[in-house]
C-alpha cells in the first residue's frame, strides 16, 4: 500500500489557537486574568504555534513506494559546529522571543543560564519530534545539534533583551503588569521593592545576563 499525505499546520494548530483564545476571553470576563496578562499568553500561544509550524509541520506521511528509504540514523548530525554556516541565523532569531518571554511566564527563568537550559530543552524537544516524525512517518526531516546550539543562543539573546527592557522605566511597568503572578520577573520586582527587613523579601539585583 502506497500512501502520500501532507498534513498542514493550519487545520491542526488553528483550532487549538481558537480554543485557547476563547478560554482566554472567558478568563478575562470572569476576572481571573487581566487584559495585559491575557494578551501576553495569547502572544506566547501564537509564537509557539508559529515555531511548531516552522519546525514540525507540514507532516508528510509517506509509506510504501513513496517512503524515504534512508536510515534514520543517517539523519542525525551529532557533531557541533563542523557544518555550521549562515543557515544557523534563522534558528537563532526563531528563539529570541522565547528567551524574552521566559522570565515573564515562568518562575524558574531567573538567570541567563537557566534561560539557556530551558531554551535548549525546548529545542531538544523539537529535534526529537522531528526525528520521531521521520521514523514513524518517513517525512524526511533531519536532526542537527547545530540547531540546538543556535536555538539556545537565541534564547540567551532574548533573555538579554528582556533584562534590558525590565530596567527601562518606560517598559518595565507594562511588562510587569503583563507578567504572570509567579513569574521570575514579577517575583524579583517584588523582592527588590519590598521594605528592608521584610521576612523572605530581601532585596536582590534585577535579572542580569552574566558573562
**What is the per-residue pLDDT across 117-151, written as a single tens digit (0 to 9) for each?**
999 999 999 998 888 887 877 776 778 888 999 99
pLDDT score, position 209: 47
User: Measuring CA to CA, which residue among 193, 200, 196, 138 is closest to residue 166?
Assistant: 193
Q: Which of 35-39, 63-67, 132-136, 152-156 has the lowest mean pLDDT?
A: 63-67
Distance CA 87, CA 196 (A): 50
| Secondary structure E strands in 22-156 | 59-63, 76-77, 143-144
Instruction: Give the pLDDT score at 67.
Output: 62
**What is the tens place of the pLDDT at every residue in 48-62?**
999 999 998 888 777
pLDDT at res. 90: 92
Return the pLDDT at 19: 96
CB atoms within 10 A of CB 184: 23
The pLDDT of 183-187, averaged and rounded, is 91
pLDDT of residue 22: 96
Q: Give the mean model confidence (pLDDT) for residues 163-187.
A: 92
Work out the pLDDT band at 109, boundaries 50, 70, 90: very high
Check pLDDT > 70 for residue 175: yes
Give CA–CA dist 123/127, Å, rounded. Answer: 6
Question: What distance lies between CA 8 and its chain's CA centroid?
Answer: 21
- Crossing angle of helices 112-137 and 96-105, rounded to 10°: 120
Amino acid at each position: 500500500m502506497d500512501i502520500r499525505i501532507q498534513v498542514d499546520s493550519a487545520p491542526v494548530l488553528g483550532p487549538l489557537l481558537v480554543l485557547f483564545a476563547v478560554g482566554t476571553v472567558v478568563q478575562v470576563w470572569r476576572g481571573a486574568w487581566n487584559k495585559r496578562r491575557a494578551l501576553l499568553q495569547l502572544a506566547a500561544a501564537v509564537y509557539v504555534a508559529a515555531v511548531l509550524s516552522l519546525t514540525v509541520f507540514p507532516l508528510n506521511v509517506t509509506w510504501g513506494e513513496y517512503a524515504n528509504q534512508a536510515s534514520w540514523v543517517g539523519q542525525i548530525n551529532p557533531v557541533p559546529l563542523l557544518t555550521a554556516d549562515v543557515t544557523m541565523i534563522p534558528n537563532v532569531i526563531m528563539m529570541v522571543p522565547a528567551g524574552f518571554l521566559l522570565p515573564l511566564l515562568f518562575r524558574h527563568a531567573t538567570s541567563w543560564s537557566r534561560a539557556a537550559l530551558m531554551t535548549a530543552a525546548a529545542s531538544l524537544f523539537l529535534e526529537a519530534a522531528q526525528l520521531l516524525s521521520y521514523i514513524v512517518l518517513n517525512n524526511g526531516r533531519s536532526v542537527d545539534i547545530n540547531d540546538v546550539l543556535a536555538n539556545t543562543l537565541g534564547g540567551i539573546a532574548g533573555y538579554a533583551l528582556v533584562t534590558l527592557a525590565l530596567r527601562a522605566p518606560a517598559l518595565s511597568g507594562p511588562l510587569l503588569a503583563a507578567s504572570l503572578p509567579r513569574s521570575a520577573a514579577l517575583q524579583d520586582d517584588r523582592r527588590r521593592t519590598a521594605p528592608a527587613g521584610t521576612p523572605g523579601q530581601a532585596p536582590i539585583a534585577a535579572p542580569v545576563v552574566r558573562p
